Amino acid sequence: MKRIPLILLCSMFMRTAYSQVIKIDNGIAINSLKGDKFDLFSGKVASYSGLVGLEYFERKWFYLSSEIGYLKLGGKENGTVDGVSTRDEQTWNYGHINTSFRARVVNRKTEFYLGAGPYANLLLGSGAFDKAQYDGYSAERVNWGLKGELGITQDINRIRIGLNGSYLIPLSATVKSQYTTMHLRSPAFYVSLGYRLK
């Protein structure tokens, strides 16, 4: 499992020489957690996410896009624990890596695309919960899954601007405990600024 982020990272840097667009994405991720046995921290938390990336192997109908950056994951709890009302918020900082295959349709300088591919999140710091009442719960060092996305870009000479919406579909747990396993729910929205190299 720990090889997946390394493979994605190496793949991204090996293809730098073949990149056609370098880009920066800034946006907002809206995160929550979904429990297998019961929900905990299922309320939504909005936070900043920033990514840098490459678009490469560009063909008429498709290309690849790889990104690396920062993402905050977690959720809010608006329920009761042992009969005590709680309004807790729990988040962790992650490094994020993804590579997507994007199918595209181009109309003059405007592109519409639909993409999918693997992602991995690597925990930056401790996976512990902030409050003692959640002892026994811990965020996993690595979680991974599939990223689905759609978006639009506009080329102005060598500058590429775009809007992107994505959703992370977890294939591994974000939080584990003896009581339940929790998985990520994370739609995100980005504004992209890129520069065409070729």
Q: What is the span of the domain harbouring residue 171?
A: 3-196
> Using one digit for the tens of pLDDT, what is the confidence trace for 46-84?
999 999 999 999 888 999 999 999 999 999 987 666 666
Residue 17 confidence class, pLDDT cut points 50, 70, 90: very low
- What pLDDT does 16 receive? 46
Q: pLDDT exceeding 90 applies to what percent of the chain?
A: 66
User: Residue 24 pairs with which residues in a beta bridge?
Assistant: 52, 193
Most confident of 13-17, 96-100, 107-111, 134-138: 96-100
Report pLDDT digits (tens) over 128-142: 888 888 888 899 999
Q: How far apart, in whole angstroms, are the C-alpha atoms of residue 57 and residue 94?
A: 28
Scan for tokens 């290309």, then name that residue: 63
- Domain with residue 109: its CATH number is 2.40.160.20
Distance (Å, whole) CA 72 – CA 134: 19
Question: What was the pLDDT predicted at 172?
Answer: 95
Higher pLDDT residue, 47 or 1? 47
Mean pLDDT for the chain overall = 88
Residue with tokens 């090996």: 14
Task: Provide the number of structural domains found in the chain.
Answer: 1
